[in-house]
Amino acid sequence: MKKSNLLFTVTASLLFFMACNNEAKKEQTQDKVKNDPATVKRKEPVSQPLVSHIYTADPSAHIFNGHIYIYPSHDTATGTPEDDLGSHFDMRDYHILSMDSVGGEVTDHGVALNIKDIPWAGRQLWAPDAAYANNRYYLFFPVKDKKDVFRIGVATSDKPEGPFKAEKEPIKGTYSIDPCVFKDDDGSFYMYFGGIWGGQLQRWNNNQYDSTAKNRKPDTLAILPRIAKLNNDMKSLAEPVKEVKLVDKDGKLFNEKDNNKRFFEAAWVFKYKGKYYFTYSTGDTHLICYATGDNPYGPFTYQGVVLNPVDGWTNHESIVEINGRWYIFYHDVQLSGKTHLRNVKVSELKFNEDGSIQPLTVYQ
């Protein structure tokens, strides 16, 4: 009887062990298949990079002389170590791109402005913008001065593709990054700018610089973008720099912890059916959002998301109407997989009847 019980126990234990072992092998096989790159369904981008021979980012798109011109940053692998202040975004010149239509052949017009030709510049040419006035083209750009403080400069050319010649000094009263120059219906030009963290906007209070200022705490008011009207010469400010109020539906300012709605960088302004649209990046939550207002100074009321996160840490948008259809220019890291080596793209953007924007996801 004892031998029979012992044999039964051993047999049962062996069968249990074999069953567990088979189940474990089955799970391992399933995991291997699940994680095998050959069997994983990759998310496919809906748009391809405009160019692949250089890395480009932060595209500001404009229609000049019936052509589409894109003014991007030019990413390069300079070997600068990465840090939270973006030192690895070590851009040293600008290349301007153009095309006759969306989806058409893209022309790279070569170096339009080199940091070596900006008398006051120190390092890091970040996201630019452009405008046309006075029968001239103006390229607005942020770059750190020789004291490592971001300022905004301007360069001019008689052609939209350049080359551009920089002024000897930055635009007095400007600071931080990401200039966006918006032309209103009456011909007035306004410059929006600012970016926190590496963009140094947190160091400016009442237009005064404090090198010791830190990022805001979660429960404090979020830092606001800036605006100033430009003089007719397009090389100077017509007024002191002001804050742009970005508020919720109840008219309340956002706190820093509202980082899926508060401003981080990449201001871009356009007009649609009489409304002013202020679009921007939330930075660490990787959204492009928008808010609307009744005049260029705001306040702008948050409305929602324009573009969901892309591959890569950053994004930076411009939105333009081309032949009756609206497009968003942006970037991701499809070509390199590295956050500081990006590529510019374009996708169509659609509005609802009430003027709201249909949120866009650029992968399928």
How far is 19 from 217, CA to CA, in rounded Å?
Answer: 55
Strand duo 288-293 + 275-281: pairing:
antiparallel
- Active-site residue identified among 129, 178, 265, 332: 265
- Active-site residue identified among 58, 90, 161, 178: 58
State the burial class of residue 27 (Cβ atoms within 10 Å of its Cβ: 0-12, 13-18, 19+): exposed
162 CB-near residues (< 8 Å, 6+ apart): 94, 96, 109, 112, 113, 137, 139
Tell me if residue 58 is catalytic: yes
Give the residue numbers annotated as catalytic, written as ranges: 58, 265
